[in-house]
Structure 1
Protein backbone atom coordinates (compact mmCIF):
# COMPACT_ATOMS: atom_id res chain seq x y z
CA UNK A 1 0.00 0.00 0.00
CA UNK A 2 2.89 2.37 -0.61
CA UNK A 3 0.84 4.30 -3.17
CA UNK A 4 -2.21 4.17 -0.93
CA UNK A 5 -4.44 2.93 -3.71
CA UNK A 6 -7.21 1.70 -1.45
CA UNK A 7 -9.46 0.68 -4.30
CA UNK A 8 -6.84 -1.65 -5.77
CA UNK A 9 -5.94 -3.00 -2.34
CA UNK A 10 -9.61 -3.67 -1.64
CA UNK A 11 -10.03 -5.55 -4.90
CA UNK A 12 -6.96 -7.66 -4.20
CA UNK A 13 -8.47 -8.69 -0.85
CA UNK A 14 -11.67 -9.71 -2.62
CA UNK A 15 -9.73 -11.51 -5.36
CA UNK A 16 -7.76 -13.55 -2.84
CA UNK A 17 -10.93 -14.59 -1.04
CA UNK A 18 -12.78 -15.47 -4.24
CA UNK A 19 -9.81 -17.47 -5.50
CA UNK A 20 -9.60 -19.40 -2.23
CA UNK A 21 -13.28 -20.34 -2.46
CA UNK A 22 -12.90 -21.35 -6.11
CA UNK A 23 -9.80 -23.42 -5.32
CA UNK A 24 -11.61 -25.23 -2.51
CA UNK A 25 -14.54 -26.06 -4.80
CA UNK A 26 -12.22 -27.35 -7.50
CA UNK A 27 -10.07 -29.40 -5.11
CA UNK A 28 -12.93 -30.90 -3.09
CA UNK A 29 -15.60 -31.37 -5.75
CA UNK A 30 -14.01 -30.77 -9.12
CA UNK A 31 -16.47 -27.89 -9.47
CA UNK A 32 -15.73 -24.63 -11.26
CA UNK A 33 -17.48 -21.64 -9.72
CA UNK A 34 -18.24 -19.05 -12.37
CA UNK A 35 -20.44 -16.39 -10.78
CA UNK A 36 -20.63 -14.32 -7.63
CA UNK A 37 -23.77 -16.27 -6.78
CA UNK A 38 -21.80 -19.52 -7.02
CA UNK A 39 -19.26 -18.10 -4.56
CA UNK A 40 -21.96 -16.99 -2.11
CA UNK A 41 -23.62 -20.40 -2.17
CA UNK A 42 -20.43 -22.44 -1.95
CA UNK A 43 -18.94 -20.43 0.92
CA UNK A 44 -21.75 -21.87 3.07
CA UNK A 45 -20.50 -25.38 2.29
CA UNK A 46 -17.01 -24.38 3.38
CA UNK A 47 -18.43 -22.82 6.56
CA UNK A 48 -20.24 -26.05 7.42
CA UNK A 49 -16.96 -27.90 7.00
CA UNK A 50 -14.55 -25.61 8.86
CA UNK A 51 -16.56 -23.01 10.75
CA UNK A 52 -18.89 -20.04 10.56
CA UNK A 53 -15.93 -17.65 10.62
CA UNK A 54 -15.77 -18.31 6.85
CA UNK A 55 -19.06 -16.45 6.39
CA UNK A 56 -17.75 -13.44 8.31
CA UNK A 57 -14.50 -13.28 6.37
CA UNK A 58 -16.34 -13.70 3.07
CA UNK A 59 -18.68 -10.81 3.89
CA UNK A 60 -15.74 -8.60 4.86
CA UNK A 61 -14.00 -9.45 1.60
CA UNK A 62 -17.20 -8.71 -0.30
CA UNK A 63 -17.31 -5.27 1.32
CA UNK A 64 -13.81 -4.71 -0.05
CA UNK A 65 -15.09 -5.68 -3.51
CA UNK A 66 -17.86 -3.12 -3.13
CA UNK A 67 -15.26 -0.52 -2.18
CA UNK A 68 -13.46 -1.08 -5.48
CA UNK A 69 -16.53 0.26 -7.29
CA UNK A 70 -17.80 2.82 -4.80
CA UNK A 71 -14.59 4.05 -3.12
CA UNK A 72 -16.22 4.31 0.31
CA UNK A 73 -13.68 3.07 2.81
CA UNK A 74 -10.80 4.78 4.54
CA UNK A 75 -7.24 3.52 4.82
CA UNK A 76 -7.99 2.43 8.38
CA UNK A 77 -10.99 0.38 7.20
CA UNK A 78 -8.98 -1.46 4.58
CA UNK A 79 -6.04 -2.20 6.86
CA UNK A 80 -8.25 -3.21 9.78
CA UNK A 81 -10.47 -5.55 7.77
Structure 2
Protein backbone atom coordinates (compact mmCIF):
# COMPACT_ATOMS: atom_id res chain seq x y z
CA UNK A 1 0.00 0.00 0.00
CA UNK A 2 1.61 3.24 -1.19
CA UNK A 3 -0.13 5.39 1.43
CA UNK A 4 1.50 3.44 4.26
CA UNK A 5 4.89 3.86 2.61
CA UNK A 6 4.38 7.63 2.52
CA UNK A 7 3.28 7.67 6.15
CA UNK A 8 6.27 5.62 7.30
CA UNK A 9 8.64 7.80 5.28
CA UNK A 10 7.31 10.94 6.95
CA UNK A 11 8.44 9.82 10.40
CA UNK A 12 11.75 8.50 9.10
CA UNK A 13 12.50 11.80 7.37
CA UNK A 14 11.69 13.81 10.48
CA UNK A 15 14.07 11.68 12.55
CA UNK A 16 16.72 12.14 9.87
CA UNK A 17 16.09 15.89 10.01
CA UNK A 18 16.87 15.99 13.72
CA UNK A 19 19.98 13.86 13.13
CA UNK A 20 21.16 16.23 10.39
CA UNK A 21 20.53 19.19 12.68
CA UNK A 22 22.57 17.57 15.46
CA UNK A 23 25.43 17.33 12.96
CA UNK A 24 25.06 21.05 12.18
CA UNK A 25 23.64 20.62 8.68
CA UNK A 26 20.71 23.04 8.68
CA UNK A 27 20.15 22.70 4.94
CA UNK A 28 19.64 18.96 5.01
CA UNK A 29 17.69 19.14 8.26
CA UNK A 30 15.37 21.68 6.66
CA UNK A 31 14.81 19.56 3.58
CA UNK A 32 14.05 16.51 5.69
CA UNK A 33 11.41 18.52 7.55
CA UNK A 34 9.82 19.53 4.27
CA UNK A 35 10.02 15.95 3.01
CA UNK A 36 8.36 14.60 6.15
CA UNK A 37 5.45 16.97 5.60
CA UNK A 38 5.14 16.21 1.90
CA UNK A 39 5.15 12.47 2.52
CA UNK A 40 2.37 12.65 5.13
CA UNK A 41 0.26 14.87 2.89
CA UNK A 42 0.81 12.43 0.01
CA UNK A 43 -0.35 9.60 2.27
CA UNK A 44 -3.60 11.38 3.05
CA UNK A 45 -4.13 12.45 -0.56
CA UNK A 46 -3.51 8.92 -1.82
CA UNK A 47 -6.11 7.51 0.58
CA UNK A 48 -8.66 10.10 -0.51
CA UNK A 49 -7.94 9.74 -4.21
CA UNK A 50 -6.67 13.33 -4.48
CA UNK A 51 -3.93 14.39 -6.85
CA UNK A 52 -0.65 14.95 -5.04
CA UNK A 53 2.20 15.08 -7.55
CA UNK A 54 4.12 18.35 -7.40
CA UNK A 55 4.50 21.23 -4.97
CA UNK A 56 1.33 23.04 -5.98
CA UNK A 57 -0.77 19.94 -5.48
CA UNK A 58 0.83 19.22 -2.10
CA UNK A 59 -0.10 22.77 -1.07
CA UNK A 60 -3.64 22.10 -2.30
CA UNK A 61 -3.85 18.95 -0.16
CA UNK A 62 -2.93 20.98 2.94
CA UNK A 63 -5.52 23.61 2.04
CA UNK A 64 -8.23 21.01 1.44
CA UNK A 65 -7.49 19.39 4.78
CA UNK A 66 -7.66 22.76 6.56
CA UNK A 67 -11.05 23.37 4.93
CA UNK A 68 -12.27 19.84 5.67
CA UNK A 69 -11.31 19.96 9.34
CA UNK A 70 -11.83 23.67 10.00
CA UNK A 71 -8.33 23.67 11.50
CA UNK A 72 -6.48 26.81 10.37
CA UNK A 73 -3.31 25.58 12.06
CA UNK A 74 -2.89 23.11 9.19
CA UNK A 75 -2.23 26.05 6.87
CA UNK A 76 0.21 27.65 9.31
CA UNK A 77 2.15 24.46 9.86
CA UNK A 78 2.28 23.80 6.13
CA UNK A 79 3.89 27.24 5.78
CA UNK A 80 6.51 26.22 8.34
CA UNK A 81 7.35 23.21 6.16
CA UNK A 82 7.44 25.41 3.07
CA UNK A 83 9.81 27.78 4.87
CA UNK A 84 12.10 24.87 5.70
CA UNK A 85 12.07 23.87 2.04
CA UNK A 86 13.11 27.39 1.07
CA UNK A 87 15.91 27.24 3.62
CA UNK A 88 17.33 24.21 1.83
CA UNK A 89 18.02 26.48 -1.14
CA UNK A 90 18.80 29.74 0.65
CA UNK A 91 20.52 28.49 3.83
CA UNK A 92 19.58 31.56 5.88
CA UNK A 93 17.93 30.02 8.95
CA UNK A 94 19.77 29.60 12.22
CA UNK A 95 20.11 26.27 13.99
CA UNK A 96 17.46 27.51 16.45
CA UNK A 97 15.08 28.42 13.61
CA UNK A 98 15.43 25.01 12.00
CA UNK A 99 15.07 23.24 15.36
CA UNK A 100 11.84 25.13 16.03
CA UNK A 101 10.65 24.30 12.52
CA UNK A 102 11.33 20.60 12.98
CA UNK A 103 9.49 20.66 16.31
CA UNK A 104 6.52 22.25 14.52
CA UNK A 105 6.70 19.57 11.83
CA UNK A 106 6.56 16.90 14.53
CA UNK A 107 3.36 18.48 15.85
CA UNK A 108 2.05 18.74 12.29
CA UNK A 109 2.62 15.03 11.68
CA UNK A 110 0.88 14.25 14.97
CA UNK A 111 -2.06 16.37 13.82
CA UNK A 112 -2.17 14.77 10.36
CA UNK A 113 -1.66 11.18 11.48
CA UNK A 114 -5.30 10.59 12.50
CA UNK A 115 -6.41 12.05 9.17
CA UNK A 116 -4.31 9.43 7.43
CA UNK A 117 -6.59 6.82 8.94
CA UNK A 118 -9.83 8.56 7.99
CA UNK A 119 -10.93 7.98 4.42
CA UNK A 120 -13.04 10.88 3.17
CA UNK A 121 -13.69 11.27 -0.54
CA UNK A 122 -14.32 15.04 -0.54
TM-score when normalising by structure 1 = 0.91
How many Å separate the matches in 2 of 1:48 and 1:31? Answer: 14
TM-score (norm 2): 0.62
For residue 43 of structure 1, what is the aligned residue in structure 2? 62
Which consecutive residues of structure 2, in runs of 5 or more, have no partner in the other structure?
A: 1-20, 102-122
The CA RMSD over aligned residues, in Å, is 1.1
Equivalent residue, structure 1, for 2:79: 59
Give the helix-richer structure, 1 or 2.
2
Q: Per the alignment, in what secondary structure is the counterpart of residue 92 of structure 2?
A: coil
Structure 1 runs, 4 residues or longer, greater than 4 Å off: none
**Which residue pairs with 1:77 in the alignment?**
97
